[in-house]
Structure 1
Amino acid sequence: ERYVDKDSYAIAKGVIFGDTSKISDSQYISFEKAGIIHIFAVSGYNIWLLYYILNHALFFINHHKRAKTFAILSLLLLYTIISGWSASVVRAFIMASVSLIGKILLNRDSDKLTSLSISCLAILISNPLSIMDIGFQLSFLSVLSIILIFPKLKKIKTKLPIVAGDMLAASISVQIGITPMIAYHFNTVSTLSIISNVFIVPLVSLFTILSIAVLTAGFVLPDLASAIGSIAGGIGGAILKVSETISSISWASLNMTSPSIFEMLLYYGLLLALCSDFIHRIKTVYFIGFIKGKYKYMIALAAACMIMMHIIIGVPKGMLKISFIDIGQGDSILVSTPDGKHVLIDGGGKIETPYSDFDIGEEVLKPYLLKHGIKKIDMMISTHSHHDHFLGLVPVMKSFEVEKFVKPEVLQRKGYEAIIENGLVCKEDVINVKKGDVIKVEDDVLLYVLNPEVESLDENDSSLVIKLVYKDFSALFTGDAESFTKNDMADYTLKSDVLKIPHHGSSGSINDEFLKKVDPDAAVICVGKNNFGHPSIEVVDMVEKSGIKLYRTDIDGEIIVTTAGRGFDISTWAQHLKH
């Protein structure tokens, strides 16, 4: 830290040890958009780079090959332990061990696929759950892509120098292999990752070597460490500049919905078929008379069948789904209709402070929607403009097509004016509603507006209250409207199967009379960690004593209600984890 500038130190810490705590959020996002965030994943690349350094540094014992091999493997093992035994590093260590032991001790070259398979098997035997680890998946896909795809791309003749051509082919190979998995887990794909990696990877390699040299020299030769540190600092600055320049391009990063399991299987099945020598050998084998030379048609047929299965399974089955999303202290509810429309009620959110600039909409709600394959919001409803309901909707407006935006007619707040002025939603697409209005989402799915009738001094009480009706099922969404629960309304108007408790279950948000009128079978409190005492013990006791099943997003996580129009089922994220 004494020998390089603050930014270079942060990058070095991330590259060598995988610790990104010193990297600012803006810098991290720029690396992410540029498609080079992988440089901070302590991976097999670090092992091979360290092997390269050690192999040359221990030149003085070249005549003792076994001793040199043992020394290198011992130091690589030490680094593997220090790095936290991440799946990618363990995979690379095992592959390096197999290669070195085979070459030095047995005088035999190792087969890359065999080494990869051994490392995969060893990791899964020690911990079968590693297969769910993102690092494990990306690491093995990257290496497999280089093994299978790189040799074929390398054959393509270009006018580039051999080294540059190989780097480009390797970068393209890895991107072909991991892009669907990146889209599945992160819902974003960098359009310039291939180009940025061609520039960045050589710089990172040199930067890593110099950083390790600074780390080593710092113990015995401070002046030398300072000199090397100045060079490393310059390269670190260049890495940061390149990433910021590439990420500043508006189309450098694209949001993507998560591909389905069928789409993933189809993609990797076709990729394996095109790259594997096994498939090419099928041309000379008779499985069923006509198969010879027809493997392409078989692949196309298999692909068509998988696509058809995906389409058939994706057809709505008359089910309506209500998802109470776990977005912390706030409300966000997604209604997915039988015809595949999506209604988003509120988006949570929190005010940025000097201590945290975490954006609920950007970091939680947007990834949630993309993960569930949602590309368009047919109707966005803002119950009121308080930050814990409204702010999270803004990033969604920026990234998704929003067909209609619904808000209370009586509320004309600055937040609502700003989204129109900034072009996030067209004025013609804004629907102002009040008590008595009915919104038809589709056949059999209606939204009845029960509040507000007039504007209240307390914006909470001016919240939209909406009753969703689907055939014989109904759900009551109350926003933060506490005074609404004290209004004298007919029982039949309020009667609902599911109730969303107002204002995060605050004291006085409901009363016994209101609960009797609604008479729900289940109640949901949208709440997170807070300093307001939400939900109050009084409200929780009142609901439970009424015999109503209570669910809370702070305890149960996401709460999902599904119904075919009569009765309903409820599942939670906590139940999913338990099972």
Structure 2
Amino acid sequence: MLWPAVGALLGSSFPSKACVMGAALLFGILALLLVFGSPGTGSRLHSLHLKRGFEGTGRRYYSAFFLFLIFFCAGSFRGFFWESKMTKAAQLAAAGKTHLVALRVLTEPRTFPGRTLFTGVIVDDVVPGGLKAQGLRAAVTAYYTEDAGPLLPGDVVILKASLGLPRRAMNFGEFDYRSYLRSQEIFLEIKGTFVESRRCPLETKDFFTVLLGRTRRVIKSRIEETLPSQEGALLKSLFLGERDEIPDVVETSLKASGFYRFILVTGFHVDVFSSVLMKAARKLTRRYLFSRIATVAMTFLYASVLGWNAGVTRAFISASMRILAPCVRRKYDPLAGLSVAALVLAWEMPYPLYDAGLQLTFLGSLGSWLGKCLGKGTGGFSSAIWMLLFLWPVLAVRFGNVSLGAFLAGGAWACLSAVLIFLGIASFVLPGFSVIFGWLPFLLLRGALFASSFLSRVPLVSLGLPAPFAVEIAAYYVLLLALSFPGPGLPRYRSIARVAFILMASLTLFVSTFLRFYSPWPEVTFFSVGQGDCALIRYRRAVVLVDTGTAYATENTVLPALSRRGIRRIDLLVISHFHQDHAGGVDALLSGLFVEAVLVPPGTGKNVQQIAGSRLPRILEAVPTTGYTLDGLEISMLYPSAPKNQTVTLAAGKYEGENEASLVFSVEAPGGFYVEFWGDAPSEVISSVLSTNGLLYRKGVLGEKGRKMDIVPVVKVPHHGSAGSLVEGFYERLRGGHGVISVGPNPYGHPSESVMYAAKENGVSIWRTDLHGQITVRMVYGKARMLPFLRTGAGG
């Protein structure tokens, strides 16, 4: 079952084209014929295996390979089905119009002042414009007035709404909301005004979903009646999988202590629930088969109420197979349980390998199983260690840190969760129980919150780690698996292969770690921070940050992106001017990282002093026409030409610096690296700089071995591509170069069509952070490599 499961997961996550699948099937059939022989003939290869004493070895290997190909093709067909759904959703979103849309409410609506959120399915056959939309699920935000009545799962609501796609990650390390919703078969985001609601007969396919929604509503109301807010929110997360009502401070401590990820994401509490329930059922009844079937049925109901995410699905299938295996006189195989769960998820979940819950629950289960196999009597300690070893790359990529509390207190969290679940069920089923013993779950929940808060403050309980890249993850798992195989006793050729794998993986990890802290090639990364600016320049050991974007962008995009790269120190922070979209995150940046020096426009040094407080970096006020050198990087100031007085109000958080005072500078490095930063400079400033400095960049530079290397200019387009920054001659001088526009949704019409036209007419490739996401420009041997985060086509 293992190889079919692997094939199905790969096929559904990375669907291949029909020609590739056809070639794979043909190759598999030929391989199968080679092993078994054509009808009436023998197989020479199989005969050789028999003569050498490997009876059945070739047949088994080729059969596994054939099954892998078959299920890979089946998974690809399923992947194409999800792609068709995504294409339909993209067509609806591209229409860009407001429609009257009828939706059936599937989940318990969450109500906030003036709006309500729920998951719905479109019941219209077509929406205006002739596009088919029936059956598509959507995350719905309905804005309503005071006279709108309460919504129940199963109601049909009519909204005057716009259809769009959920927001996707635009930077490395950013949360991908679109991928998160896609794993729940939600492909659209609908926002609109409430028109009316109706009670309509349920369709058969929606009956079970709506029934579960109403059951969840009852459970939620019971919890709210019996428990205070924080304790109730924690119990809701255990019963309903809802984490929205957990306060941010509490959620942070739950993450650091391991409760959040060990229990709520991986589904391990479902494993414990089924085990405890099985023991209780066997004590309550002597009917062997009945107790096991009842346990599976109760686990199914609990998993249905909780929600069928990847962790819950894996836990239910594994628990069911473990419980029912003795009934058919079979011994439960953990790998078989994982394989069956993988086959189910490959069919039911869109692009399953992209889901964080699936990665965590499967790798954690594999690590635990391998730890038991290799532990030789060490039991749970070995399982916890191997689970940690298997999980930390995924935790680092998905969350930016590894919670050691999850492995130190994982057993305690799981047992506590099981007790709370049973107490909660007793409270729901037996109304008198909550009256008499309602204090017991309250004390346990309060104790869990206190313990998680205490653990989160323990030093090193949560380790912040840089996110490994794909090649590092592959090398790490190769090294881990190679070390798990015992060296002594292996045949000579396998022992040599094992040593070779260990050496290659170790070398890969060493080189990648070195390159993380030392950049041999100069590069600049323009972060996608919405309507704002922020860029990271790296060369050798130098780290320079130009602007910060808004405070929100700094906290939610810039700091996580720097942390995922392992950057804890900024050598130089350059602030072009003190507008909110350029310098709004200075305070957050100084709080989150060590900043050696800050370079600001003339006359504005005191403004940084007000923000920094006791965190005093070295403050440099830019000197006109002066150069700065930092480990091979040369920063040349081009503007302003003379100090200007500015009034900046920081206490209120409003930055009122003038665009005319924006710093304009260039950054150069060996190998033809040249980047211009223009801030929000208006046309008058741009004309002045061009008339003073000419082309600004040299046509060529002397490279290695005396070879002439062309410079490919890269320019951060002035003022987000506004029409007011367009100057005759600006793009003519950049022919063959690249322009980067840092822009987001805005009411100003940025970037201007005139700017886009001027760049295109002069052969300048335009890259936009709102379309391409984060954009990295790496100069390797005189060639500029453009590396956009989103592969939406070349700039133009």
Quick one: distance in 2 between partners of 1:91 and 1:467? 54
Moved more, 264-273 or 339-348: 264-273
Equivalent of 1:233 in 442, 452, 457: 442
Q: Which residue of 2 aligns with 1:348?
A: 549
Judged with a 3 Å threshold, the aligned counterparts in structure 2 of structure 1 residues 549 and 399 are, in CA distance, closer, same or farther, namely same
Q: Which of 370, 373, 376 is the matching residue for 1:148? A: 370
Q: Are residue 459 (structure 1) and residue 652 (structure 2) matched?
A: no
Which residue of the other structure, out of 603, 614, 621, is the alignment partner of 1:422?
614
After superposition, the C-alpha distances for 1:380-425 in whole angstroms (9 at most, x for unaligned) are: 3222333332343544444445444333332124344432x322x5
* Alignment map for 1:52-131 (pairs within 5 Å): 52=275, 54-55=277-278, 62=285, 65-104=288-327, 106-124=328-346, 129-131=351-353
* Distance verdict in 2 for CA 1:304–1:74, change over 3 Å: same
Assess if the C-alpha contact under 8 Å between 1:411 and 1:462 holds in 2.
no
How far the C-alpha of 1:86 sits from its partner, in A, is 1.7
Q: Which amino acid aligns with 1:189?
A: V
Whole-Å Cα distance in 1 between the matches of residues 274 and 396 of structure 2? 32
1:479 aligned residue (679, 684, 687): 679
2:398 alignment partner in structure 1: 185
Q: Does 1:503 align with 2:719?
A: yes
Counterpart CA distance in 2 for 1:408 and 1:565 is 33
Structure 1 position 149, deviation (Å): 1.7
Q: Distance in 2 between matches of 1:532 and 1:334?
A: 26
User: 1:179 deviation in Å?
Assistant: 2.4
CA distance in 2, matches of 1:151, 1:319: 45
Indicate how the Cα distance of structure 1 residues 436 and 518 shifts in structure 2: closer, same or farther if over 3 A, else same. Answer: farther
Aligned pair 1:256/2:459, yes or no? no
Q: Distance in 2 between matches of 1:507 and 1:227?
A: 71
CA contact (8 A) 1:322 1:560 kept: yes
Tell me the equivalent position of 1:14: 237
Residue 83 of structure 2 aligns with which residue?
none
Aligned-residue CA RMSD in angstroms?
Answer: 3.6
Query: Cα–Cα, structure 1 residues 245 and 54, in superposed 2: closer, same or farther, change >3 Å?
Result: closer
Alpha-carbon distance between aligned partners in 2 of 1:298 and 1:308, rounded to the nearest angstrom: 15
Counterpart position of 1:356: none
Q: Give the letter for the 2:491 counterpart.
A: Y
**1:322: how far off?**
2.0
Counterpart of 1:305 (choices 504, 512, 517) is 504
Range moving further from structure 2, 309-318 or 111-120: 309-318
3-state secondary structure, aligned to 1:379: strand
Structure 1 residues 157-191: Cα deviation after superposition (integer angstroms, max 9, x where no partner) = xxxxxxxxx76665545334322331233221335
Q: Give unpaired runs (5+ residues) of structure 2.
A: 1-223, 647-656, 698-711
Following the alignment from structure 2 to structure 1, what is the Cα–Cα distance between the partners of residues 297 and 405? 38
Shift, 1:78, TM fit: 4.5
Q: Is the 8 A contact 1:435 1:451 kept in 2?
A: yes
1:479 partner letter: G
Q: CA 1:271–1:235 in 2, change beyond 3 Å: closer, same or farther?
A: same
Q: Would you say the 8 A contact 1:385–1:415 is kept in 2?
A: no
Cα distance change on mapping 1:378 and 1:239 into 2, 3 Å? same
| Aligned residues of 1:257 and 1:370 also touching (Cα < 8 A) | yes
* C-alpha distance in 2 between matches for 1:176 and 1:310: 15
Deviation of the 1:4 alpha carbon: 0.9
Task: Provide the residue aligned with 1:550 in structure 2.
Answer: 766
Residues 481 and 413 of structure 1, relative CA distance in 2, 3 Å threshold: farther
Displacement of 1:525: 1.7
Question: For the structure 1 residues 324 and 124, does the alpha-carbon distance in structure 2 shift closer, same or farther, using more than 3 Å as the test?
Answer: same
Task: Give the Å deviation of 1:547.
Answer: 5.4
1:403-448 deviation per Cα after TM superposition (whole angstroms, max 9, x unaligned): 44333332124344432x322x543xx43323211122344x4221
Query: How far off is 1:203 after superposition?
Result: 3.0
Contact kept in structure 2, 1:262 and 1:306, CA below 8 Å: no
CA drift of 1:302 comes to: 4.2
The one-letter code sitting in structure 1 at the alignment partner of 2:614 is N
Task: Work out whether residues 734 and 764 of structure 2, in 8 Å CA contact, stay in contact via their aligned partners in 1.
Answer: no
Letter in 1 for 2:572: M
Kindly indicate whether residue 241 of structure 2 is the aligned counterpart of residue 36 of structure 1: no
Matched, 1:326 2:528: yes
Asked whether 1:205 is paired with 2:418, we answer yes
* TM superposition shift of 1:139: 0.7
* From 426, 430, 435, the counterpart of 2:624: 435
Question: Corresponding residue for 1:524?
Answer: 740
Maintained 8 Å contact 1:378/1:403 = yes
TM-score w.r.t. length of structure 2: 0.60
In the alignment, is the contact (CA less than 8 A) between 1:61 and 1:67 conserved in 2?
Answer: no
C-alpha deviations, 1:31-50, integer Å up to 9, x for none? 22223321553543232244
Q: Partners of 2:451 and 2:746 in 1: how far apart?
A: 40
Aligned partner of residue 724 in structure 2, secondary structure: coil
Which piece of structure 1 moves more, 78-87 or 56-65?
A: 56-65
Aligned equivalents of 2:344 and 2:519: distance in 1? 43
> How far apart, CA to CA, are the structure 2 residues paired with 1:23 and 1:392?
26
Do the aligned partners of residues 370 and 304 (structure 1) sit closer, same or farther apart at CA in structure 2, a change above 3 Å counting? farther
Contact 1:18–1:40 at 8 Å: present in 2 too? no
- More strand, by proportion: 2
Look up the equivalent residue of 1:405 and give its one-letter code: V
2:244 is aligned with 1:45: no
Alpha carbons 1:342, 1:379 under 8 Å: kept? yes
Given that residues 190 and 254 in structure 1 are in contact (C-alpha distance below 8 angstroms), is that contact kept between their aligned partners in structure 2? yes
Alpha-carbon shift at residue 89 of structure 1 (Å): 1.8
Aligned partners of 1:539, 1:262: CA distance in 2, in Å?
A: 39
Distance 1:252 1:102, change over 3 A: closer
Report how far residue 306 of structure 1 moved. Answer: 2.6
Is the Cα–Cα contact under 8 Å of residues 624 and 637 in structure 2 kept in the other structure? yes
What is the alpha-carbon distance in structure 2 between the residues aligned to residue 43 and residue 308 of structure 1?
Answer: 32
Q: In structure 2, what is the Cα distance between the partners aligned to 1:506 and 1:331? A: 14
